[in-house]
Amino acid sequence: MEKSRMFEKKKRKMVRIRKVMMVLMGLFVLGLFAMNFYISKIDIRSLEEALPQPTIIYDREGKMASKLSVSKMEAISINEMPEHLLQAVIAAEDKRFYKHHGIDYQGILRAMWRNVKAGEFVEGGSTITQQLAKNVFLTNEKTLKRKWEEFFIAKKIERTYTKDEILEMYLNRIYFGEGAWGVKKAAEIYFGKDVSKLTVSESALLAGLIKAPSALSPIKHYDQAIERRNLVLSLMKEQGYINEKTFLEAKKEKMVFEKKQLDPYKGKYPYYVDHIIDEAINKYGLTENEVLFGGLHIYTEMDQHIQQAVEEVYKKEALFPESTNDQLLQSGTVLLDAKSGGITALVGGRGEHVFRGFNRATQLKRQPGSTMKPLAVYTPALEEGYRIFDLLKDQPFDFNGYQPKNYDHQYRGTVTMYEAVINSLNVPAVWLLNEIGLHKGIDAVERFGIPLNKEDHYLGLALGGLKEGVSPLQMAEAYSVFPNEGVKTEAHAITKIVDMNGETIAEWEPKSTKVTSKEVAQKMTFMLEGVIEEGTGKRAKMAGRDIVGKTGSTQVPISGVDGVKDQWFVGYSPQLVCAVWLGYDHTDQNHYLKTTSSQTVSVIFREIMSEALKDVPPMSFTYPKLKAEKRQLEKFHEQKKKEKKQKKEMLREKKHPKEKPHKHGKKHGKKDKRKKD
């Protein structure tokens, strides 16, 4: 009886235990199901996105010119990493990497035991997969919630990617100190070499940095870094990755740390690169992210010799008027190939460059002053049949309240068109535009590629009176018509864009339009040559070179201030067009220019062109159809010189009359030979 009760009691206990076990197993299964469901919903697609790759810029000869990289990381394939580097990282960070499934339970227990024995935290239990999860998706906060998130994300990563893929992502994203994100940057910064060229000793040192990149930096803490390297080498030997001989050789290897500076191509030619980004976006429809992070290969019209030369000119402080203390005097310039329209060089400012900042070469909007005269007045006048020796009126006029004045406030009565051009006279230009019809000037300016507003439709157009203004790029493109025999080819920097897979995704298609006749273009060039030979642009003259151009300036629009807001020089050789602007970003009563274009910007233009054409054989302008007009002009100028000389003689005689002889016969003992009345 007693035995029977004991049996029943034991039986009931076993039933309860079985029930508890079943409940626990059920809960465990439900927990596993819930965990798997939760893991399946974790989004780790950002790992699938390729790491940003630098975009490479090439010059017109296909040589690398610049590298566009705003990312702190550069990814490489695991196949480009030496095997001993992978082994060093695994030995130091996660020796069971290829055995566990994201969480190394043995490693956790081992770390706990060692930490208890040491009485302090000496070892962590995080796997490479967990570190990747934390670095990409989580913060550094030390909370239980964050550890659980790390656990689940690591599991999802292991289920989604192979071990080699995980290791590749990890090594491309981990921080190695001294600004080196990813193993590629680390190899460059510490050893000045490609990652594939690392030695066993160098790989061990980099692997050792992962634990504490700042505290173990060999640049700042050499002894600690070497000690850590030796520990990693010992771990590699223990785990069978290297033998005793390799271990000893690697320990003896002398470490040479170069602390390599920035990539020499990164950030080179910044203003030109800024324009390339804009052109890729605006002309070819790429997004900014595609250009900045897409690993593109962009081929351009840049001439590195000319680009470097222009940048050097902009460093010569003596060429530029002195700035005020609170604002730097600014400038922008563009150089174009006269035939192709290719932008060979571009500088958008002085002083420190701001990435994707204001580019004065392309984004500036300022009134062009007298550089507009050839476009708005003299080209359409020549098209209407005016000749370079025809006389234009230079006298006071009132055009419905608009009263133009010359820069010197003088009037000359009449002047030839040639004289009006070379001396940059305002009144004859406005008078001539009125004579041919304002609509003719408007049409011509728009043909040259410069858009106008309704507010620009007045006679002030002759003197560059535009509401919005123009950029050096627009002026260079417009003036390229003259050396290109009346044809305008659209200005451009990019010739081709190739993606990281080698496919051409954009290519330049030449767009040319006939603006005026070859004969008119030659006549304008002849007159603009006079600007430099004997007019306002004399200081732009270059020995042994045919250079032509036009000065321009605008007045400060502030009552009581007699100064210049903008200075321009736009000119060209047979091969190259150059437009230069000079002025302050913000003009007021304290910030303006006190010199003329002929004194400053003409000299800057000359320096730029001298350097740009240094190794280019000289070419000459020819004017075969201008012989008759040139003869007529010379004849007129000879007559004018003769009249001027006679006028001077008459004034001299009036001021200093000749002494009259005595009336009574003798002077100095000589007879008076004058006839009597």
List the beta bridge partners of residue 73.
181
The β-bridge relationship of strands 330-337 and 64-68 is unpaired
User: Residue 54 in contact with residue 262, Cβ under 8 Å?
Assistant: no
- The CA distance from 618 to 313, in Å, is 21
Q: Are 567 and 552 in contact (CB under 8 A)?
A: yes
**How remote is the C-alpha of 293 from its chain's centroid?**
16
Secondary structure (3-state) at 359: coil
What are the CA-CA distances from residue 548 to residues 285, 454, 470, 627, 651 (Å)?
Answer: 37, 32, 21, 19, 37
Task: Using a pLDDT cut of 70, give the percent of the chain over it.
Answer: 84
More confident residue, 518 or 75: 518
Backbone phi, psi, residue 144, to 5°: -65, -40
Which of the two residues, 663 and 596, has the higher pLDDT score?
A: 596
Nearest Cα neighbor of 577 from 377, 343, 310, 364 is 343
636 band by pLDDT with thresholds 50, 70 and 90:
confident
pLDDT score at 3? 62
Residue 669: its pLDDT value, please? 40
What percent of the chain is modeled with pLDDT above 90? 60
Q: Hey, what's the torsion of the CAs at 30, 34, 39, 40, to 10 degrees?
A: 100
For residue 220, name the pLDDT band (cuts at 50, 70, 90): confident
Task: Give the model's pLDDT for residue 672.
Answer: 39
Using pLDDT thresholds of 50, 70 and 90, give the confidence band for residue 675: very low
**Whether pLDDT at 477 is above 80:** yes
CA R_g for the chain: 40
Mean pLDDT of the chain: 86
> Running DSSP on this structure, what letter comes out for residue 374?
I
Q: 563: buried, middle or exposed (CB in 10 Å: 19+, 13-18, 0-12)? A: middle
Number of H helices, E strands in the chain: 22, 16
| Nearest Cα to Cα of residue 303 among 266, 346, 361, 268 | 346
| Averaged pLDDT for residues 60-77 | 85
Q: Is the pLDDT of residue 664 over 50?
A: no
| Average pLDDT, integer, range 155-176 | 89
CA 648 to chain centre: 57
476: nearest Cα among 335, 368, 353: 335
Query: What is the C-alpha to C-alpha distance for residues 177 and 140, in angstroms, rounded to an integer?
Result: 17
pLDDT class for 139, splitting at 50, 70, 90? Answer: low
Say if CB 73 and CB 188 are below 8 A apart: no
Which residues form the catalytic set?
Answer: 93, 370
Residue-wise pLDDT tens digits, 478-530: 999 999 999 999 999 999 999 988 999 999 999 999 999 999 999 999 999 99
Residue 368's closest CA among 478, 464, 475?
Answer: 464
Average pLDDT over residues 269-289: 93
What does the pLDDT read at residue 157? 86
What's the average model confidence in pLDDT over 18-31? 66
Distance CA 239, CA 218 (A): 25
Tokens of 326: 């609170």
How far is the C-alpha of 463 from the C-alpha of 228, rounded, in Å?
A: 73
User: Could you tell me the maximum CA-CA distance found in the chain, to the nearest angstrom?
Assistant: 188
Rounded CA separation 615/305 (Å): 9
- pLDDT of 102 over the 60 cut: yes
Q: 213 and 225 in contact (C-beta within 8 Å)?
A: no
More confident site: 263 or 496: 496
Using an 8 Å Cβ cutoff, are 346 and 363 in contact? no
pLDDT at 12 (0 to 100):
72
Given a cut of 90, whether residue 652 has pLDDT beyond it is no
Q: Hey, what amino acid is at 657?
A: P
Higher pLDDT, 84 or 35: 84
Is pTM beyond 0.75? Reply is: no
Residue 25 has pLDDT above 90, yes or no: no
| The amino acid at 39 | I
- What is the C-alpha to C-alpha distance for residues 579 and 363, in angstroms, rounded to an integer? 14
